[in-house]
Amino acid sequence: MIPLTITDIAMALGLIAIAIGLSFWQRLGLEWQLLIATFRTIVQLIFVGYILAIVFTSKQPWLVITILAVMLTVASVVAKNRISQKIPRLLPLVWGSILTSTTLSISYTNLLVIKPESWYEPQYLIPLVGIVLGNAMNAAAIAGERLVSSVNSSSVEIETYLSLGATPEQAVIKYRKDAIRAALIPTLNSMMVIGIVTLPGIVTGQLLSGVNPLDAVAYQMLIMFLLAFANLVTSLLVTYGLCRQFFNQDAQLKNL
């Protein structure tokens, strides 16, 4: 792998400078946003780089678990904020759903596929969990937001179903299925065209680091299967929990 020096990174910033110039020329008003995004990218990645260097060197399970817990909590907060600010106990629901899907998928992978020497091997655990968490966060946000907006805009229809004798689960099942399908669309689209239209980040990164292309695509297959499973489980759990929040003890639709 060809290492990048500080000078190389400074030269790469020329791309951002050109982008800012184009924004100013076209009067898009994106100059400040580009500057902030670039600054945050640099600071956050340098910070993460030093933290991961410490974790990879020490290989302490408590440190690995701490890093993963912070990642999980941040992902859950982001997903919760995208779904709704009004629904009570939404954060524990999202947190538990993402934790469950991530634990199931990573445990399966570690035990049956990769089989590292220790379950907390940071070289494998942190990257895989990070990829799963990021995608599960998006799946939870899409499924939750779609379900909440659909139920809020279809209250009359849902109440009609209830008045005709339908259970709460039956009254919202259509909206729940649509929300889950919507959450899986990005993953399914990626799986349909992967390698033909796009080369995912892990393949690109491994190729740049000199890994055999067949080994790189093997890991990408594993990751895509991981994401499909984790995103589906996350969507199922989040929408199930939300459906229970929509109704009171008398099976009446609540205003959320």
| pLDDT one-digit tens code per residue, 174-196 | 999 999 999 999 999 988 887 76
Structure tokens of 11?
Answer: 């030269």
247: which DSSP letter?
A: B
pLDDT digits (tens, 9 = 90+) for 15-73: 999 999 999 999 889 999 999 999 999 999 899 888 888 888 888 889 999 999 999 99
CA nearest 134: which of 207, 92, 79?
79
Give the confidence band of 121 by pLDDT, cuts at 50, 70, 90: confident
Burial group, residue 93, by CB count within 10 angstroms (0-12, 13-18, 19+): buried
Q: Locate the domains of the chain by residue range.
A: 1-58, 59-245
CA distance 124 to 101: 17
**203 in Cβ contact with 217 (< 8 Å):** yes
The beta-carbon contacts of 70-75 under 8 Å, at least 24 apart in sequence, are 71/129, 71/130, 71/133, 72/98, 72/99, 72/102, 72/133, 75/133, 75/134, 75/136, 75/137
Q: Determine the pLDDT at residue 253.
A: 84
pTM (predicted TM-score)? 0.84
